[in-house]
A = this chain, B = another copy of it.
Amino acid sequence: KMHKIAVIGGDGIGPEVIEESIRIVDAAGKKHGAQFDWQRLPWSSENYKKTGHMVPPGGWELLQQHDAIFFGAVGSPDVPETVTVHGLLLPMRRKFDQYVNLRPAYLYEGVPSPLKDKAPGSIDFLVFRENTEGEYAPIGGRIYEGMDADTAVQVSLFTRRGCDRILRAAFEAARKRKKILTSITKSNALTYGLGLWDDVANAVAKDYPDVKLRHLLVDAAAMDFVRKPETFDVVVASNLFGDILTDLSAMVTGSVGLASSANINPEKKFPSMFEPVHGSAPDIAGKGIANPLAAVLSSALMLDHLREESCAAAIRQAVAQVLKEGKTMPPDLGGKSKTREVADAVLAAL
């Protein structure tokens, strides 16, 4: 089967890590009988500076014709985030109703954690981040800008439907794993939005009597991600808390250079999008030293979504092998290997 994939390398290290991942996916596909039609879209800050648009006219419709979107990163020091992040990344998550942002946390063998005494595999959980509403609702405004009376409001919007669907996705995942779901809020302080979230969590829990639901405040969760990350199985959190906690989980499992993510529309009414968590990293862009493995592992999440599970498994195993051998490690994991060399090692392991 031929899968049509829209590719947006974007800014900074985005294109570098995405191109390496494409080589790897093609190789895995060749072995396991899957084919990919990659349509590269030049949407980026550079392109914006030339054309005046981040997404060209008809761009969203074009994406809609694809089975998935493979995304690098956007963000550039010389283009405002209102253009890059708010012109492409965040509207994509919302327009395509990619309400599940799945971010796995796993401590691979061969990867040192900054935490003491953590065995390989001991940290192994999934974060389900709500991805369309909550704190990231594009609602708010500012008045008296620059004056003494300067005031801004930023509105978080939570709906029962929005909480229900991400919680159900997380409960389903927990059911297939160790059956422990931790729901993160800060409803002791933020009673309105996150009070609703808690209520919905308790209601949905009734449909999953086999799953243990734990409530945890985000500040305590930040501590527990450091103190005892091995106690988590599936974690579900609002948009902002999911953002913060998944950077933290990336760090305790060694590096954001290994953190993959899937932005999923489970109903498949819209294309889902797969991206490394790390962002455009302008400081190391163009040097060929970015760790491609977060993008490679994101491609594995894409392959799962496309029901090419054997391709996905093969890629994950190849990545695990490269990390375990430790001979081809990128700088963020304490090695000296270049982006291309790390990808070559994965290809060899495939």
Which of A's residues lie within 8 Å of B, judged by CB? 75, 81-82, 85-86, 90, 114-116, 135-136, 140-142, 144-161, 186-196, 199-200, 218-220, 222-223, 226-227, 240, 243-248, 250-252, 256
Q: Give chain B residues whose Cβ lies under 8 Å from the Cβ of A186.
A: 240, 243
Q: Give chain B residues whose Cβ lies under 8 Å from the Cβ of A140.
A: 156, 190-193
A115–B140 Cα gap in the complex (Å)? 39
A75–B187 Cα gap in the complex (Å)? 13
Known: A150-B159, A222-B245. 6 other contacts (CB 8 A): A85-B188, A114-B227, A135-B190, A154-B158, A186-B240, A219-B243
Q: Give chain B residues whose Cβ lies under 8 Å from the Cβ of A152.
A: 157-159, 192-193, 195-196
A291–B116 Cα gap in the complex (Å)? 23
Name the contact of A114 in the complex, choosing from B115, B158, B190 (C-beta under 8 A). B115
Query: Can you give 28 A-B contacts (C-beta < 8 A)?
Result: A82-B191, A85-B189, A114-B116, A135-B190, A140-B190, A142-B196, A146-B199, A148-B161, A150-B160, A150-B196, A150-B199, A151-B157, A151-B196, A152-B158, A153-B156, A153-B157, A153-B158, A154-B155, A154-B158, A186-B240, A218-B243, A222-B222, A222-B244, A222-B248, A222-B251, A223-B251, A226-B248, A248-B248
**Complex contact A160–B148 (CB within 8 A):** yes
A190–B238 Cα gap in the complex (Å)? 14
How many copies of the shown chain assemble into the complex? 2
For the complex of A and B, 7 pairs with smallest distance between CB atoms: A140-B192, A150-B160, A154-B193, A219-B247, A152-B196, A154-B156, A223-B251
- Residue among A158, A188, A194, A252 with most chain B CB within 10 A: A188
- Residue among A146, A152, A194, A222 with most chain B CB within 10 A: A152
Q: Give chain B residues whose Cβ lies under 8 Å from the Cβ of A81.
A: 187-188, 191
Instruction: Determine how close the nearest CB of chain B comes to the CB of A176; give it in whole angstroms.
Output: 28
Q: Give chain B residues whose Cβ lies under 8 Å from the Cβ of A244.
A: 218-219, 222, 244
**Complex contact B141–A151 (CB within 8 A):** no
Instruction: Determine how close the nearest CB of chain B comes to the CB of A159; give it in whole angstroms.
Output: 5
Nearest CB in chain B to that of A250: its residue: B223
A82–B191 Cα gap in the complex (Å)? 8
Q: Give chain B residues whose Cβ lies under 8 Å from the Cβ of A252.
A: 226
**Complex contact B151–A190 (CB within 8 A):** no
Instruction: Determine how close the nearest CB of chain B comes to the CB of A160; give it in whole angstroms.
Output: 4
Instruction: Determine how close the nearest CB of chain B comes to the CB of A225; give it in whole angstroms.
Output: 8
Q: Give chain B residues whose Cβ lies under 8 Å from the Cβ of A192.
A: 140-142, 152-154
Nearest CB in chain B to that of A81: its residue: B188
- Residue among A90, A157, A226 with most chain B CB within 10 A: A226
Q: Give chain B residues whose Cβ lies under 8 Å from the Cβ of A223.
A: 247-248, 250-251, 256
